[in-house]
Structure 1
């Protein structure tokens, strides 16, 4: 048997990057998977690549109604929901507070926090009853920016610290029926995009000159992570057999920042 045989998962932000790596690993481990993402083209590509055991739902994580629809379509297709993975996020291109114009601060805050924080709350709230019925699990993608400064700008780092607190509080609130945990990746070779308009220099993370070399040299393991490098941790946390007593925890997958 594979680890996630008979499990049903819903992955937000699952059409690309770390989310897609989790989707692919979940399918390989026997799960049936619903992928919820705003990018219709990438969802179509994913559906072509995996015609069995997978459905796609196009929508916006900042809209509760879209999250509710994603849960409903997952349960309609597969009969239940065992795992919710919250993964959708925006970056802020390392912009410090002093470089955000006062008149645009609230707008940039709202855009980023509505995806990085409210998006997770919407997903968990929409999935809560289905997860309680199955004795399921929530897994939220954090970042080493949820623990250390410098991995982003003021908005991104603050949002990821908020996600760490969210995991702890939800684990407390949702026990004993649902376990809530997180995975904290470090710098990863993905096209993570920044909030539109926050910086005239903003570009996808892995397009930044020197990004791969600098990220590798910053950690003891001396290499840049691929999205697939993190995926096994989502499997372990999603399996009630492999981690039955783990809740309120975040597993680090960041090349050794804590040792540094």
Structure 2
């Protein structure tokens, strides 16, 4: 098991689903946590669950001032930061582009791309200097299907997750050698609260609303392991990349896809 005892981890999008699962997992490894989420209610719940040893702040990853305040508070509380983990995200409801009202596409595009892509870029730039002081790392969240192929979401989500691969590779190049930059590509999260863009009126829809039997049937159809992981179960992959002792990986994306990319083409399972 990776040991993160004393490592200082700043985690965005930590209020539910993947981010909350990662926060819980990192805590079991001994990490010191700084948690950011946009939801005031989730921030209250995080503070109650994690206690005073954890920094919890409300903020929007699209807001440079909020990110700077989060960075400064992390450094003030813990003395630095070893790893930045980006777990925030927004889904497009798997809506085909032909079904979206033309006049709503620009605003929906901006909303999805600003959260899923710009938020990662801004947080990386804001935290870079502090991470470099400790030869730290950045771990972002791609997608095992939407970052590599079609039908892992609608066009807006797929475009955003393809973009994350480019962000990881270019930042790894530009931030080397002081800061490593990698990503994990999850495939389905059992306890996800991923929501849709307000520009499309989908902010009230959550992946948690999908009946678990239906979600599991889809997972069985496209993966090999017949398992729908919780956010915490992706923790070991993120922890590997966050480990300050790990000095050999940068520009890499871990495909945590339950065998999605290795599913049968001809043979029936």
TM-score tier, shorter chain, comes to over 0.9
User: For the residues of structure 1 that align with 2:38 and 2:173, how far apart are their CA atoms?
Assistant: 30
Quick one: which of 222, 239, 259 aligns to 1:218?
Answer: 222
Question: How do 1:70-219 residues align onto structure 2 when only pairs under 5 Å count?
Answer: 70-144=70-144, 145-189=146-190, 190-198=192-200, 203-209=205-211, 210-219=214-223
Is residue 8–residue 80 contact of structure 1 (8 Å, CA) maintained in 2?
yes
Cα displacement (A) at 1:211: 2.2
Per the alignment, residue 250 of structure 1 pairs with 253
Cα displacement (A) at 1:26: 1.3
Q: Secondary structure of 1:247's match?
A: coil
Runs of 4+ in 1 over 3 A off after TM superposition: 199-202
User: For the residues of structure 2 that align with 1:201 and 1:173, how far apart are their CA atoms?
Assistant: 35
Q: Secondary structure of 1:258's match?
A: helix
Q: Secondary structure of 2:255's match?
A: strand
Q: Secondary structure of 2:43's match?
A: helix
Is residue 6–residue 30 contact of structure 1 (8 Å, CA) maintained in 2?
yes
**TM-score where L is the length of structure 1:** 0.95
Gaps of 5+ in 2: 264-269
User: For the residues of structure 2 that align with 1:200 and 1:67, how far apart are their CA atoms?
Assistant: 26
CA RMSD of aligned residues (A): 1.7
Q: Secondary structure of 2:260's match?
A: coil
Q: Give the total of aligned pairs.
A: 259
User: For the residues of structure 2 that align with 1:37 and 1:200, how far apart are their CA atoms?
Assistant: 19
Cα displacement (A) at 1:259: 0.3
Quick one: which of 235, 239, 244 aligns to 1:235?
Answer: 239
Is residue 195–residue 203 contact of structure 2 (8 Å, CA) maintained in 1?
no
Cα displacement (A) at 1:161: 0.4
**TM-score where L is the length of structure 2:** 0.92
Cα displacement (A) at 1:184: 0.4
Gaps of 5+ in 1: none
Is residue 95–residue 199 contact of structure 1 (8 Å, CA) maintained in 2?
no
For residues 23-67 of structure 1, the C-alpha deviation after alignment (integer angstroms, 9 at most, x for no partner) is 111111111110011011112112111215311010111111111
**Change over 3 Å in CA distance of 1:4–1:200 after alignment to 2:** closer
Cα displacement (A) at 1:240: 2.6
**Change over 3 Å in CA distance of 1:46–1:149 after alignment to 2:** same
Is residue 205–residue 211 contact of structure 1 (8 Å, CA) maintained in 2?
no
